[in-house]
Amino acid sequence: MITFRLSTQEELKFIQNAIDKLFGEKIAEKFIQNKHLIIGEGKWKEIFLVSDKMITILEAMANKKQPYSLGMQIGELDKNKKFKLSLEAVFEIVKFTSHLIKLTAKGAQTILYGRNISFSQVDKICYDDAKEGDYTILLDENGFPIGLGKILHDLAKMQLIRFKICIKNIIDLGWYLRKGE
Amino acid sequence: MSIDDDLVEEIAKKYGYRPYMIKRYLEMFGKEETVKFLEANEQKLIPSLRCNTLRIDEEDFVNLFTKKNFVIEKISGISYGYRVFKTPFPLGATNEYLLGFYFLQSEASMIPVQVLDPKPGEIIIDLAAAPGGKTTQIAQFMKNKGVIVATDINRKRIKSLRSNLSRCGVYNSLIIRMDGRQISDLGIQADKVLLDAPCTGEGLIPRDPTRKTSRELKDILYLSDLQKELLTAAIQCLKPGGSLVYSTCAIAPEENEFVIDHALKNEDIQVKKMDFNRGSPAFTDAIFGKTLHPSIKEARRLYPHKDGTEGFFICKLQKVS
């Protein structure tokens, strides 16, 4: 059974910090704006971003029925309080962050099959200070966001070992085919 | 009306239908049109899709698809709708599909939302919403502003609804797993309601020939009762003056005109003329022993032999008081 409630100030702060840590300062503020965070609490916590109007509807419902989902699911907090960003959030945060890496067409297909990326499949690193441990939004050859990756090595050194895995696939749009429907 | 049993058997055998269906078609359409209808059911329909402007600008979508050697053609009178004549890849597995740039949706099934005409900021209820083709279309019309309350009772289908809304960038939906007949218990008053009702899917035979034999008359009657209950519940949660679109992919009058007639007799609603010119007027003359309210003629029926779509029924209603 999942129950839904407004986030506490502490939870809001925690999620804002988690997003800023992933993508840079003030990104959470631009992303969340004046919307509200709803927490769906079951075995783990799901976090949803909703409008004022959605809150009005939830109040009118007065807990007569629990939602299955609502607004934009921006991520989950697992048992260890680790924040996992959703695909929906990736699609919105791409508008604000500079943490972007453009892949080749082959790289894009590799990501969409749920696999990791070698340097040979990277077309362009779109920001200057990319470093090991960074989370970055992965773009396909046309510049559309297709997933989230984590940089595993110092990319400057990867030029020499082009076929070694350098970006770990965290989430990708292929999920919709593999698990979504 | 007396129908020749030998003729029924002969046609049923030739096209592979249950005889009771042929008998009903002969009564509804007469012999000549029944044969045209059955012949059209043997033809494949042109696939179609809806460009999802929540994810991509329509002009960019057309340019992208043209560059990738898809051959598409705009459907007149249906916003964002395209017929697809050539596809280099299966449409359900392209990167653009995963990016939510389009939704695979039949031409006829794009019409109910077009007729409902959702506006940004409204509260809209979408009953029996899964798998979400029309819900994503509603969100597109609303530009993700306002709230869509999308319900479905089926556990498996609601998962697919959620996935499709996520893929298409729908952020203004409230998904609730529930029996739509209980929707008024939630205390929500909607500006508009879409009831694309669960039905026999008899209109889908061009896509799924198993439906020639998979349904019995008792299924039609069972669903007709369910549809009446759903429509009553839908009307109850509509604001006065609010509008409701009822649609099915069924062609049985029991699932369509009879349901509307029942609501007209029992609820404060009226049939509204639709700003939509395709299809044929719904039945109003005596059909299967029942005379229907004359205003039902404003509802529309679509057929494969006349409109090049699956069989479909659409009616727009307005709450009076």
Q: Are residues A9 and A87 in the same domain?
A: yes
Q: Which of A64, A93, A122 is the last residue of a domain?
A: A93
CB contact under 8 A, A173 and B99: yes
Q: What is the pLDDT of residue B62?
A: 97
- Which of B309, B125, B127, B307 lies closest to B227 in space, CA to CA? B127
Range A105-128 average pLDDT: 95
A133 three-class SS: coil
Residue A153 pLDDT > 90, yes or no? no
pLDDT per position as a tens digit, B20-68 = 999 999 999 999 999 999 999 999 999 999 999 999 999 999 999 999 9
Range B288-308 average pLDDT: 95
Q: Are residues A86 and A106 in the same domain?
A: no
Q: What is the DSSP letter of B211?
A: G
* Residue B208 binned pLDDT confidence (cut-offs 50, 70, 90): very high
* pTM as predicted: 0.96
Range B104-132 average pLDDT: 97
- Greater pLDDT, B267 or A1: B267
For residues B296 and B265, what is the distance between their CA atoms, to the nearest angstrom? 12
pLDDT per position as a tens digit, A2-38 = 889 999 999 999 999 999 999 999 999 999 999 999 9
Q: What is the pLDDT of residue B77?
A: 93
Q: What is the pLDDT of residue B1?
A: 60
Residue A174 pLDDT > 80, yes or no? yes
For residues A99 and B293, what is the distance between their CA atoms, to the nearest angstrom? 62
Cβ neighbours of residue B4 under 8 Å, at least 6 residues apart?
A: none
CB distance B303 to B311 below 8 Å: yes
Q: Which of A93, A113, A144 is the last residue of a domain?
A: A93
pLDDT per position as a tens digit, B217-230 = 999 999 999 999 99
CATH no. of B48-104: 3.30.70.1170
Amino acid at residue number B149: V
Residue A130 pLDDT > 70, yes or no? yes
Domain of residue A66, residue span: 3-93
B202 Rama sector, left if φ>0, alpha if ψ -120 to 50, beta otherwise: alpha
Q: For residue A70, give the CATH number of its domain.
A: 3.10.450.220
- Greater pLDDT, A181 or B292: B292
Range A155-167 average pLDDT: 78
Pairing state between β B48-51 and A122-125: unpaired
For residues A54 and A4, what is the distance between their CA atoms, to the nearest angstrom? 13
CB contact under 8 A, A173 and B95: yes
Q: Which of A44, A61, A93 is the last residue of a domain?
A: A93
Query: For residues B16, B19, B23 and B24, what is the CA-based torsion angle, rounded to 10 degrees?
Result: -80
Question: Is the Cβ of B300 closer than 8 Å to some Cβ of chain A?
Answer: no
- Greater pLDDT, A63 or B267: B267
DSSP H helical ranges for A94-151: 105-112
Q: State ipTM.
A: 0.94
Residue identified by tokens 């359900």 is: B92
Instruction: Provide the shortest C-alpha distance from residue B96 to chain A (in Å).
Output: 9
Burial letters B86-105, b for 16+ CB under 10 A, else e? ebeeeeeebbbbbbbbbbeb
- Greater pLDDT, B195 or B290: B195
* Residue B277 binned pLDDT confidence (cut-offs 50, 70, 90): confident
First to last CA, chain A: 22
Q: Are residues A78 and A106 in the same domain?
A: no
In this structure, how many other beta carbons lie within 10 angstroms of the beta carbon of residue A21? 13
Range A47-57 average pLDDT: 97
CA distance to A112, A148, B56, B296, B303, per residue, from A171 (Å): 9, 5, 21, 51, 43
- Which two three-digit tokens encode residue B114? 């077009």
Q: What is the pLDDT of residue B215?
A: 94
Q: Are residues A70 and A152 in the same domain?
A: no
Residue A157 pLDDT > 80, yes or no? no
Q: Are residues A12 and A82 in the same domain?
A: yes
pLDDT per position as a tens digit, B70-101 = 999 999 999 999 999 999 989 988 999 999 99
Pick the CATH number of B108-319 from 3.40.50.10490, 3.40.50.150, 3.40.309.10, 3.50.30.40: 3.40.50.150
CB contact under 8 A, A173 and B186: no
- Which two three-digit tokens encode residue A79? 């048992």
Say how many domains are in chain A. 2
Q: What is the pLDDT of residue A181?
A: 64
- Secondary structure (DSSP) of A49-108: EE-HHHHHHHHHHTTSS--SEESEEEEEE-TT--EEE-HHHHHHHTTT---EEEEPHHHH
Q: Are residues A10 and A84 in the same domain?
A: yes
> What is the residue-averaged pLDDT of chain B?
96
Exposed / middle / buried, residue A89 (Cβ in 10 Å: 0-12, 13-18, 19+): buried
Whether B249 sits among the annotated catalytic residues: the reply is: yes
- Which two three-digit tokens encode residue A166? 């350098």
CB distance B212 to B16 below 8 Å: yes
CB contact under 8 A, B166 and A88: yes
Question: Is the Cβ of B166 closer than 8 Å to some Cβ of chain A?
Answer: yes
Q: Are residues A7 and A62 in the same domain?
A: yes
Q: What is the pLDDT of residue A1?
A: 77
Q: Are residues A24 and A78 in the same domain?
A: yes
Instruction: Provide the shortest C-alpha distance from residue A10 to chain B (in Å).
Output: 24
- Give the H or E element holding residue B272: strand B269-272
Range A153-159 average pLDDT: 76
Q: Are residues A61 and A116 in the same domain?
A: no
For residues B290 and B271, what is the distance between their CA atoms, to the nearest angstrom? 18
Pairing state between β A117-118 and A122-125: unpaired
Q: Are residues A86 and A145 in the same domain?
A: no
Q: Are residues A89 and A152 in the same domain?
A: no
Q: For residue A164, give the CATH number of its domain.
A: 2.30.130.10
pLDDT per position as a tens digit, B167-205 = 999 999 999 999 999 999 999 999 999 999 999 999 999
Pairing state between β A45-50 and A36-41: antiparallel
Q: Are residues A33 and A72 in the same domain?
A: yes
Write the residue in B95, B131, B175 that is nearest to A67 by C-beta.
Answer: B175
Q: What is the pLDDT of residue A162?
A: 75
